[in-house]
């Protein structure tokens, strides 16, 4: 892996762990094993590195979700596969955590991929749920958009609870809870 590539990967890791406000060019260089001059040759500064890093993480996040959501099975089976996918729960969501960073939220270019990824997730889940309703797998009374927002919120909030508790248990409970509630809307 070349210097530019290592720098972006280090930035991705550090953004995940510490957020934009919590990282420094020096820290990125050290983790990447790249000198100062080299970093400033490839990138204009911390912000340019973050733009590249966040863009890549956003793309990856959408691609991984699409794997489960476009898989086989009923609507509810695909949502379940997405929610129960193996996750590094205590690390949290690398996109969702950026919503808590004041400098990311204040910068339209840094913010855009965060907004877009979470909006896309809600929309994609709403599609899957609407499909399930049309196929008669789910009750007609279910609101796909509301339940989609609930589902994404359970994930994001589950990470918060897990990190606070230093345990994956509350995350798993929250997922169990929403899937249990949803089960009552599956048609026989």
Partner DNA sequence: GTCTATATGACGATAGAC
Partner DNA sequence: GTCTATCGTCATATAGAC
Residues that bind DNA (CB under 7 A): 2-3, 23-27, 34-38, 40-42, 44-47
Q: Which of 114, 120, 143 is nearest to 69 (CA)?
A: 120
Return d(Cα 126, Cα 138) in angstroms, integer.
13
End-to-end CA distance of the chain: 53
Residue 1 sits in the site that holds a copy of itself (CB under 8 A): no
Q: CB nearer to DNA: give 41 or 187.
A: 41
Both structure tokens of 23: 């990282």
| Cα–Cα distance measured from residue 19 to residue 13, given in angstroms and rounded to the nearest whole number | 9
Q: What are phi and psi of 80, to 5 degrees?
A: -65, -45
Tell the residue number behind the tokens 């590249």, with chain if given.
Answer: 52
Closest to DNA by CB, 27 vs 55, is 27
For a copy of itself, give the closer residue by CB, 3 or 186: 186
Residue 168 interacts with which of a copy of itself, DNA, none, CB < 5 to 8 Å by class: none
Task: Report if residue 96 touches a copy of itself, rule: CB under 8 A.
Answer: yes
Query: Shortest Cβ distance from residue 101 to DNA (Å)?
Result: 12
Determine if 124 is a binding residue for a copy of itself (CB under 8 A). no
């Amino acid at each position: 892996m070349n210097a530019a590539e290592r720098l972006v990967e280090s930035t991705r890791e550090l953004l995940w762990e510490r957020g934009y406000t919590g990282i420094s060019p020096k820290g990125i260089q050290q983790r990447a094993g790249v000198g100062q001059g080299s970093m400033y040759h490839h990138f204009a500064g911390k912000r340019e590195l973050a733009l590249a890093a966040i863009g890549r993480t956003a793309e990856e996040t959408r691609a991984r979700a699409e794997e489960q959501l476009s898989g086989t099975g009923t609507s509810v089976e695909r949502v379940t596969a997405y929610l129960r996918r193996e996750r590094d729960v205590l690390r949290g969501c690398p996109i969702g955590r950026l919503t808590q960073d004041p400098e990311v939220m204040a910068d339209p270019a840094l913010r855009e991929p965060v907004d877009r990824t979470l909006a896309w997730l809600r929309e994609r889940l709403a599609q899957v749920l609407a499909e399930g309703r049309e196929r008669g797998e789910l009750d007609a009374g279910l609101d796909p958009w509301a339940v989609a927002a609930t589902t994404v919120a359970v994930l994001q909030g589950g990470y918060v609870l897990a990190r606070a508790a230093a345990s994956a248990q509350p995350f798993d409970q929250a997922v169990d809870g929403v899937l249990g509630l949803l089960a009552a809307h599956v048609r026989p």
